[in-house]
Structure 1
Amino acid sequence: MKKKAWKAFAVGLSLAAVTAGCSSGGNGDGGNDAEGSGNGSGSEAVTIQMAKRIFPDIAPAPQDLWMWKEYEKMSGVKVDWVAIPDATVGEKKNLMMSSGDYPEAFFGSMGFSIDEVVKYGAQGIFLPLEELIETNAPNLTDLFAKYPEIKKAVTAPDGHIYSLPYVDSSIMDASLRYYVNHTWLTNLGLEPPQTIDEFTAMLKEFRDKDANGNGDPSDEYPLAYPGNIGMLEQQLFGSFGMGNGGLQGASQWIYKDTDDQIKLIFTDGKYREVWKYMAMLWQEELMHPETFTNMEYGNWVAAGAKNQVGVFSWVSPSYIGDKMVESYVGVHALEGPGGRMLNWIDNPARGVTQFMITDKNKHPEETIKWIDFWYGEEGANFGFFGKEGVTYNMVDGKPKYIDEIANYEGGQQLGALQYVDNVYGGFYPYLEPDAVMRRVVKGATMMDEFRQTPEDAEKYATGERWPKFMPSAEESGETIPILTDINQYITESRVKFITGEWDINGAQWDDYVKTLEQMGAGRYLEIKKAQYERYSNS
């Protein structure tokens, strides 16, 4: 999306304040004459029951959160929240659907797969939304018209839209980088690596030369990935010629090769080369020794605080702790035998199952109007920044969070979470506001937060950024059991090949490929090719 000037942003928030004042009427009448009230007839306000993931240890309950109380005044719609703690969302969602005791709508990340959305849509449990959007959702209508790839991402093969997306076009927020310990580079007189060979040589120096300068050359972990070595693997796809399609291409185990053909990753010779490289890293003791056992996140963060972590990957370096951010520099991609591509990058429709209306909903038109607010500039800004004089003030022409948020003991993100909802947990049904302004309100810049520039990200970003392709119910019926077996087998094989239990240079690789073919790899590829063609031609 295009960047918007702060002046326009401020005007949008001013309008939000005016809307709130008008709809509340200043006399407790619920704003029944307001267009967005949800009833417009002077009758009792509409109530909609919605299920929502919550974080009870760090945030107020939704009915107590300032943002939702304020939006109730603005919209004239009361939400009866079914609040589900994050740790039990998947279990509770499954129980709701199996028992039939589900709400009128599902809001945010509730653990629904695209296969489930299509299945429940075909069964009539999730309502088709396209006609409701056309007549009652001007923001979504505009968004789909300006960015047809977003509409394509949420449209099922039967032509219906059963769910709404989480949209973020910020290339930095939607991509992953290698974060390299800049203090170690400085200590050793090195520059950030640009190629796989330079990366390998750097890691060896980290291992051998007391990179953290504490006098102990054996307490450094050159590569440390807490509990997810798959991140390193997927990043390497862009250096070994399998990056086209972006993050969701990799998550579906497919890429577009130089011959313009869609191919499987997990049986490809290039994938074997990725595993060979990772096996070398393991053999050379460049990976953390607990990579394949049980590396606890807290222990990893503690190692980072002691300046013992050389390289890791995440969206921003704050993952290893706010105090360590300035110790790292981001590297978007590495030149390898297959090129240089930032392939761990998401489609703007980063999530496609973020809001569903069920067949129990008594007010679908009011519900779609209610959610549509969050897909316009006014709602996007309100959901992240709040309101001037309440959650932020203008300082030298720029927004700054109030002191209560800025100085919150757990950091500004958790401070903002005490007022607004769309700043923590992610993948809400809304359009993220301007990426630069998301940093400005915290008194930071993009470089402060990411330790690298968006310009370099654009330079190396893959051209195609597919969404997860919407399946038909019939396709899901085939791919789910195939992938269940295949993913489990790949997980087991990865560890055995990389740690050397299996010989990746010998016949065991051929056996691995044959096993995947017996599990249905060929049929899976046929289905993915058909989905790609359907997506490309829609």
Structure 2
Amino acid sequence: MKREKVLTVVLAVCMTAGLLTGCGAKEKTAAENKQEPAAQEAEGGTRQQANLNAEGFPIVNEEITLKVFGQQGPVQGKWDEMSMWQKYQEMTNIKLDFTDVLPAEGYDEKKSLMWASNEYPDIFVRAFINNAEIVKYGNMGILAPLEELIPQYAPNLQKLIDEDPAILSRITAPDGHIYALPAIFTLTAARDDKFWMNTSWLEQVGKEIPVTVDELEEVLRAFKGVDFNGNGEADEFPMGVSDAQALVRRFAGVWGYQYQFGRFLEVRDGRVTTYLTEDNFRDMLMWLNKIYEEGLIDPEIFTQEYAKYAAKMAGQQMGLFFNQADDTFDSANFAGVAPFRGKAEKQYVESAPAARDNGVFAICADCENKEAAMRWIDYFYGWEGSCLMRYGVEGENMYFDEDGMPHYNDGILDSPEGSGTEIGKFTIWPGGGAPQMVNDNNCEAIASEATLAAQKALDPCVPEKIYAEPLLEQEVSDRLSVLWTDLENYEKEATAKFIRGELNFDSDWNTYVDTMNKIGLEEWVSIYQTAIDTLNK
């Protein structure tokens, strides 16, 4: 397996306003947020320190409550009913208030309301705080700096940072502070979406696993219109994907493009470029339009919620689809395949750095129990805590074998609902975005034999270097946010219309290119170029 060199840049992107309850209500300036009255701070700090245990459990002697803001994933149950949280509250003596844990649908809007409300939680868990928000609300004094807490109260996280210094550069803001923490994945198979092909369908139509784009077309046509499940309904789709942008990203890689910084960008010989207006990208969209108009792509990709896509995976309703692991479906009838060869000399897959999902945990600056909160989260960056996060409660959800390796109880990985949905009943990691450490020994659900084989098919297509979304200075971050919001909104709309045939490639392509350039495509690229230049100095 080719080992990626994860490059990250200490720089970020912007965003706006927010909702909810927790740390504070009165609007403050950045200076006021960062400079609480010394006497009050000293008194409160002494009281909290006296209640805190430096190591072991419980974390605090007298029970405290931390108000949580976060997102309940589409395949997750209610957080207050999860055995993982119930067990951890008993262990720590820290009660969790999940009032502000919100459904995935409409979450971004409610998060914006939270920022605007000036009423904040104590901690953010699986909150998807983006880079722009990290820098903006860190600078405003809403998010607490964590870099001085980590060495003393987060030994597990500190160990991971010592072993991989790239983690530190990934999470350090331009002002030198750390305002939010990531999920950390040392397992490559947990960083990209696999290409899953339905081998049962292939057998029924007399086809082999396709290797090229042309062969894929033939297979998808053979799948069309066949009632594979025998229910008399047209509920099978030759190819499906979670959403239209995911479709574009997957096949951009097939057409030879990388997906760096979590954007439609490449870095070649130190130069950052975008391919959103290139003729080769246009050719890729033309191909997608062709197979879409033939009825070979699930038409619901433009409108469906992820939960519906997950149900289609579990129901084996797609001939080809994309997912990180086989945790939401039974992989017995599926094989992981390599990106299909076409005109490009080399194919690529979108892959995340080891310190991925930055912004999955943060502490509010007004939280009265910062040290306890840091000890609380650090548990999940160590072995025991990662097993609780990944597997749930021993006896109830999982067990350890004679070698000390964790395993799910019977009936979980082979649940008819899909293992992701089953695991989501008792822990928060299914769907991604959880604060956790994932390695080769605690990844049973996402590193099954089938998933590892699927990853092996992708390994030659993983970029040698992976660039994370940079943390930028506030002013640059604000500008980048405006640019990308406008560019992304237009790109999403236009590419969807090209795929559906609502825009004409002959008469409308130049207008699309001109509009992207007018919005600021060149300036957008130049910001990332500056980040790379800074890194290389």
Same fold (TM over 0.5): yes
124-133 or 422-431, which deviates more? 422-431
- Displacement, 1:335? 2.0
Aligned counterparts of 1:346 and 1:160: Cα–Cα separation in 2: 23
How does 1:41-190 map onto structure 2 within 5 Å?
44-54=62-72, 59-62=77-80, 65-86=82-103, 87=105, 89-108=107-126, 110-190=127-207
Q: Which letter maps to 1:225? A: V
Q: Does 1:240 align with 2:255?
A: yes
**CA RMSD of the aligned region, Å?**
3.7
Aligned partner of residue 490 in structure 1, secondary structure: helix
Contact kept in structure 2, 1:470 and 1:531, CA below 8 Å: no
- Displacement, 1:401? 3.4
Contact kept in structure 2, 1:188 and 1:211, CA below 8 Å: no
Aligned partner of residue 148 in structure 2, secondary structure: helix
- Displacement, 1:455? 2.6
After superposition, the C-alpha distances for 1:191-213 in whole angstroms (9 at most, x for unaligned) are: 212222322233334349x5959
After superposition, the C-alpha distances for 1:275-311 in whole angstroms (9 at most, x for unaligned) are: 122123234443345555x567788788778876322
Aligned partner of residue 48 in structure 1, secondary structure: strand
Structure 2 stretches lacking a partner, 5+ long: 2-49
235-244 or 391-400, which deviates more? 391-400
Q: Which letter maps to 2:193? A: L
Identity of aligned residues (%): 26
Q: Provide the residue aligned with 1:23 in structure 2.
A: none
TM superposition score normalised by structure 1: 0.78
Q: Provide the residue aligned with 1:263 in structure 2.
A: 273
Contact kept in structure 1, 2:184 and 2:355, CA below 8 Å: yes
Q: Provide the residue aligned with 2:55 in structure 1.
A: 35
Q: Provide the residue aligned with 2:290 in structure 1.
A: 280
After superposition, the C-alpha distances for 1:110-161 in whole angstroms (9 at most, x for unaligned) are: 2422111110011111112112213322211111121222222212222221
Aligned partner of residue 454 in structure 1, secondary structure: helix
Contact kept in structure 1, 2:76 and 2:430, CA below 8 Å: no
Aligned partner of residue 465 in structure 2, secondary structure: coil
Q: How many residues align?
A: 487
- Displacement, 1:346? 1.6
Contact kept in structure 2, 1:330 and 1:452, CA below 8 Å: yes
Structure 1 stretches lacking a partner, 5+ long: 2-29
Contact kept in structure 1, 2:123 and 2:364, CA below 8 Å: yes
In structure 2, relative to structure 1, the CA distance for the partners of 1:510 and 1:437 (3 Å cut) is closer
Aligned counterparts of 1:303 and 1:291: Cα–Cα separation in 2: 12
Q: Provide the residue aligned with 1:434 in structure 2.
A: 440
Aligned partner of residue 453 in structure 2, secondary structure: coil
Contact kept in structure 1, 2:189 and 2:447, CA below 8 Å: no
After superposition, the C-alpha distances for 1:359-380 in whole angstroms (9 at most, x for unaligned) are: 2112222221221121112211
Aligned counterparts of 1:302 and 1:106: Cα–Cα separation in 2: 29
Aligned counterparts of 2:536 and 2:483: Cα–Cα separation in 1: 24
Q: Provide the residue aligned with 2:333 in structure 1.
A: 327
Aligned counterparts of 1:145 and 1:382: Cα–Cα separation in 2: 23
Please point out which of 333, 357, 364 is paired with 1:351: 357
Q: Which has the higher contact order (CA 8 A, sep 6+)?
A: 2
Contact kept in structure 1, 2:390 and 2:443, CA below 8 Å: no
Aligned partner of residue 512 in structure 1, secondary structure: helix
Aligned counterparts of 2:73 and 2:236: Cα–Cα separation in 1: 35
After superposition, the C-alpha distances for 1:240-284 in whole angstroms (9 at most, x for unaligned) are: 221163xxx3x4221124x54210121223322221221232344
How does 1:369-388 map onto structure 2 within 5 Å?
369-388=375-394
Aligned counterparts of 2:90 and 2:62: Cα–Cα separation in 1: 13
Aligned counterparts of 1:220 and 1:414: Cα–Cα separation in 2: 21
Q: Which letter maps to 1:327? A: N
Normalized per residue, the structure richer in helix is 1
Aligned partner of residue 438 in structure 2, secondary structure: coil
365-374 or 424-433, which deviates more? 424-433
183-192 or 152-161, which deviates more? 183-192
In structure 2, relative to structure 1, the CA distance for the partners of 1:230 and 1:39 (3 Å cut) is closer
In structure 2, relative to structure 1, the CA distance for the partners of 1:458 and 1:361 (3 Å cut) is same
Please point out which of 420, 437, 447 is paired with 2:449: 447
Aligned partner of residue 256 in structure 1, secondary structure: strand
408-417 or 458-467, which deviates more? 408-417
Aligned counterparts of 2:293 and 2:422: Cα–Cα separation in 1: 44
Aligned counterparts of 2:196 and 2:113: Cα–Cα separation in 1: 40
How does 1:271-420 map onto structure 2 within 5 Å?
271-289=281-299, 292=302, 294=303, 309-316=318-325, 319=328, 322=329, 325-394=331-400, 399-402=406-409, 410=417, 412-419=419-426
- Displacement, 1:433? 4.6
Contact kept in structure 2, 1:67 and 1:383, CA below 8 Å: yes
Aligned partner of residue 67 in structure 2, secondary structure: strand
Q: Which letter maps to 1:467? A: A
Q: Does 1:225 align with 2:241?
A: yes
In structure 2, relative to structure 1, the CA distance for the partners of 1:52 and 1:186 (3 Å cut) is same
Q: Provide the residue aligned with 1:16 in structure 2.
A: none
Aligned partner of residue 491 in structure 1, secondary structure: helix
TM superposition score normalised by structure 2: 0.79
Q: Which letter maps to 1:476? A: S
Aligned counterparts of 1:103 and 1:299: Cα–Cα separation in 2: 31
